[in-house]
Amino acid sequence: MGFVQIIELKTSRFEELDTLHEQWRADTEGTRTVVSERICRDRDNPGTYLIIVEFPSYEAAMANNALPATNRIAEGIAALADEPPEFRNLDLVRSD
């Protein structure tokens, strides 16, 4: 069963967040278990972003979370966020 994680965060430092994300991508090349990811800006709430990450399974997500680079980006996101990020952990039950 697929697994989706949504991270909602507020930041006034998106450019730094994007740079951090590119570093994570480089650091996890060939080891990350992400199927797809999307970074979205909330049009109705300035400074609010949603990061939507899909994995083949919950277990694959946990393996990805165990990567040292994932720990570094999580710490970086927390430092760049204007308030603590919110996480949603979802089992994918249908995708058309």
**Helices 14-27 and 68-80, packing angle to 10 deg:** 180
* Contact between 9 and 49 (Cβ < 8 Å): yes
Considering the domain boundaries, does residue 81 fall inside one?
yes
- pLDDT tens over the chain, length 96 residues: 899 999 999 999 999 999 999 999 999 999 999 999 999 999 999 999 999 999 999 999 999 999 999 999 999 999 999 999 999 999 999 988
Largest CA distance in the chain: 36
For residue 52, what is the domain's CATH number?
A: 3.30.70.100
Assigned domain for 96 exists: no
Q: How far is CA 66 from CA 15, 31, 33, 35, in A?
A: 25, 11, 11, 16
Number of domains in the chain: 1
